[in-house]
Chain A
Amino acid sequence: MNKAEQNMNAVHIENVSKSFGNTHAVADVSFSVARGEIFGLLGPNGAGKTTLLRIMLDIFKPDRGKVEILGGPMTEEKFNRIGYMPEDRGLYQNITLERCLVYLASLKGIPPAEARQRLKIYLERFDLAAHKKKKVKELSKGMQQKAQVICTLLHEPEIILVDEPFSGLDPINTQMIKDLMREMRDRGATIVMCTHMMRQVEELCDRIILVNQGQSVLYGNLNEIRRRFSGHAVLVRTGGELPRLPGVKQALPQNNEIKLTLEEGTSPQEILRELIRQNILLEKFEIAIPSLDEIFIRVVKKGGV
């Protein structure tokens, strides 16, 4: 990646390593996040995701490697252009919701009066307007989660780093957050999302990195990765009984379909030709692309976790 391309990226991490004592939390990880994309930072527990987020945010200094945010090293001015939602929610519990959010927004460079104006809109949208004078600790877990989202977005950041944004949310609020993330992306914001919820990643992310034991094990465009991991299998649904087919190692029913695992040297086209030759009424025939869940488990297990 040349310098000009690097400058196009919202985040550029190059050969970053970080140790805590004898523990290598992150080892030689590199990735870039383009402006205006939703990027998934995935990995099992303890893989180093949060450490990577904190390195991006300059909370931790890397032992080695280079970190560029918005085209250069992190500065205090850039703090105002970044929104961060930590996994463990961080709001003052003993002050009112309004005071808490206005204060945190003012620390991001928004004048308090303007923060109050913006907050009014967000509180209406998140159905929290009636609770603005309540102490944060008096709000339900879901409400606090929504308040945390508002805290992350109120200053309209260019880069949004979110750690498990959907935990504790019901399906309606999950959908609301997803819509909001798409909306932010459409406005040009860059989103880096740390999550275990692979369905949300599949729905939202353009590209991902999967880290395991501090190392990058998968990185790239989500669809390309899924195609890369598509097994030697096809999914078929027929109008009647499926006969035994040559070149098929295993036939497993899966919902209303059958997943055919092919023998080495057999191509999906050969199976399709055979099905047509046998005059089987086909309702569905597709290459079996694994879900991100399956890829995640496969890669992580292979990594020895």
Chain B
Amino acid sequence: MSKIWLVASQEYQRQVSTKKFFLILFIFPGFFLLIFAIVYLMSRAENRNIPIGYVDQSGFLKNPLPLLKQENAFDSSALLPVIAFPEEQEAHKALEDGKIQCYYILPPDYPENKKVGLVYFKPPGQNATRQFWDFLQMNFLRSLPLDNARRAVADFNLVIRWPEGGVGGGREISEKDGLNMLLPFFVGILFILILFISSGAFIGALVEEKGNRTVEILMTSLTPGKLITGKIIGVIGVSLTQILFWIFCLLLQAFIVSRFLGMDLLQNLSLAPGIILSLFAIALPYYVLAASLMTLVGVSVAEPHEAQQSVFLFIFPLWITFGLAKPIIDNPNGPLSLGLSFFPLTSLSAFCIRIGFTRVPVWQVVLASLILCFSAAGAMALAGRAFRLGMLRYGKRLSLKDIFPRRSHE
């Protein structure tokens, strides 16, 4: 096995075998589970799954069209039976017996006035009100072909198209895309979170190796370049494990709540392959750059707490970009957005924000990715040099002057 893979495997195993890793691994799915539970409980509290009754004194609902399940994300309500009562006394008796949660009265002049009466002891659930309203809508449209009527009753979907060359760059966004627009944004935040968590473990490992002198054994076994490459691959592996596990848990939880609790969360969720590829093209070299910077920090400091503080130096630009999210979203192809997209330390967060709100040209993704690749290669070379110099300076910091000397003193 190549020494790079041996180091990567060791780094991976070392990090994933800690209690901290498992704690972090399960905290987020637990958090998502809590959110789903809250949404479900809120939905349960708002809805009541008891049939609805009506008394049609107008004849409008003679031979009514049945209501269909609404195509609405997050609608956890099951379709309620709508029961027709010939007389109000019968409806009232059913209400008293708890067989219906409320009943509507369509007075004789309903077709003209469009006014209905509602009788209840306890206010009906939102689902009951919404479904009876849809039921009436369906029957107003029954003169239309059945499919058209159903389509009209189903949720409408507003679609916005930007003109080519405009602010949106020809992008088309539908109302149901809200989640998809924000998804890259959340991916960016998630990425920063993972970077922050893994940087702590990674730098901690370097400082530990420096502290317990293992580094001397390592440096007489393989080159600093291979050692750093192996460590970076290991850290990327750990982060990928976390991300994939979280995505798996999120999808599993979404499937479970969709399947068993009737909350269709995945219906409108989709990310275009182009967006996934673009994010990947930016995120991967960015991660290598970040890991190289972590190495620089890890070998330059003497104590683990100093390393943790120094991590903010490269996390900070990412947060700054998220702080500038509003001007970026307002003008995703403006000079600020482009500048941040091509600056290596802000590139990832800028793309994560922009990509949901504009159609980012391929050349911009390629250019940003290339800039990141070159920056990552440079940072790796510097990290290798710093590693060689810094890892043997026990208890001492490494300064920029040491890394960029006038004369070589390796």
In the complex, whether B14 has a CB less than 8 A from a CB of chain A is yes
Say yes or no: A107 contacts B213, CB within 8 Å: no
Say yes or no: A59 contacts B220, CB within 8 Å: yes
Residues of A within 8 A of B409 (CB): 19-21, 63
Say yes or no: A90 contacts B214, CB within 8 Å: yes
Residues of B within 8 A of A90 (CB): 212-217
A92 to B209, CA, bound (A): 7
In the complex, whether A267 has a CB less than 8 A from a CB of chain B is no
Residues of A within 8 A of B408 (CB): 61
In the complex, whether B1 has a CB less than 8 A from a CB of chain A is yes
Provided the pairs A90-B215, A92-B212, A106-B6 are in contact, do residues A61 and B410 lie with their beta carbons within 8 angstroms? yes
> Which of B1, B219, B388 touches A106 (beta carbons < 8 Å)?
B1
What 1/0 mask marks residues of chain A from 74 to 91 whose CB sits below 8 Å from any chain B CB? 001001101010101111
Not counting A79-B221, A86-B216, A91-B214, a sample of 18 additional A-B residue pairs whose C-beta atoms are within 8 angstroms of each other reads: A21-B409, A57-B219, A57-B220, A59-B220, A60-B410, A61-B410, A63-B409, A76-B222, A79-B220, A82-B220, A86-B217, A90-B212, A90-B214, A90-B216, A90-B217, A107-B218, A107-B221, A107-B222
**Chain B residue with Cβ nearest A108:** B221
Say yes or no: B222 contacts A79, CB within 8 Å: yes
Residues of B within 8 A of A106 (CB): 1, 6
Number of A-B contacts (CB under 8 A): 65
Say yes or no: B218 contacts A89, CB within 8 Å: no
Provided the pairs A60-B410, A61-B410 are in contact, do residues A104 and B392 lie with their beta carbons within 8 angstroms? no
**Chain B residue with Cβ nearest A75:** B223
Provided the pairs A76-B223, A151-B217 are in contact, do residues A91 and B410 lie with their beta carbons within 8 angstroms? no
Interface size on B, as a range, is 20 to 34
Say yes or no: A86 contacts B410, CB within 8 Å: no
A76 to B224, CA, bound (A): 11
In the complex, whether A169 has a CB less than 8 A from a CB of chain B is no
Residues of A within 8 A of B214 (CB): 90-92
In the complex, whether B3 has a CB less than 8 A from a CB of chain A is yes
Size of A's binding interface in residues, CB under 8 A: 29
A86 to B408, CA, bound (A): 25
Chosen A-B contacts, 12 in total, with CB atoms closer than 8 Å, are A57-B219, A59-B392, A80-B221, A88-B213, A88-B394, A89-B213, A90-B213, A90-B217, A92-B214, A106-B6, A107-B7, A107-B218
How near does chain B come to A305, taking the closest CB pair, in angstroms?
23
Complex interface residues of chain A between 97 and 140 (CB less than 8 A to chain B): 103-104, 106-108
A20 to B407, CA, bound (A): 11
A104 to B218, CA, bound (A): 8
A20 to B408, CA, bound (A): 10
How near does chain B come to A100, taking the closest CB pair, in angstroms?
9
In the complex, whether B10 has a CB less than 8 A from a CB of chain A is yes
**Chain B residue with Cβ nearest A95:** B14
In the complex, whether A93 has a CB less than 8 A from a CB of chain B is yes
How near does chain B come to A237, taking the closest CB pair, in angstroms?
48
**Chain B residue with Cβ nearest A74:** B220
How near does chain A come to B408, taking the closest CB pair, in angstroms?
8
How near does chain A come to B139, taking the closest CB pair, in angstroms?
71
Residues of A within 8 A of B221 (CB): 79-80, 104, 107-108
Say yes or no: A84 contacts B217, CB within 8 Å: yes
Residues of B within 8 A of A20 (CB): 409
Residues of A within 8 A of B212 (CB): 89-93
Residues of B within 8 A of A104 (CB): 217, 221
How near does chain A come to B381, taking the closest CB pair, in angstroms?
16
Among B223, B388, B408, B410, the one with the most A-chain Cβ atoms within 10 Å of its Cβ is B410
Residues of B within 8 A of A91 (CB): 212, 214, 217
In the complex, whether A226 has a CB less than 8 A from a CB of chain B is no
Complex interface residues of chain A between 211 and 257 (CB less than 8 A to chain B): none
A89 to B212, CA, bound (A): 7
Say yes or no: A84 contacts B6, CB within 8 Å: no
**Chain A residue with Cβ nearest B215:** A90
Among B10, B216, B220, B223, the one with the most A-chain Cβ atoms within 10 Å of its Cβ is B220
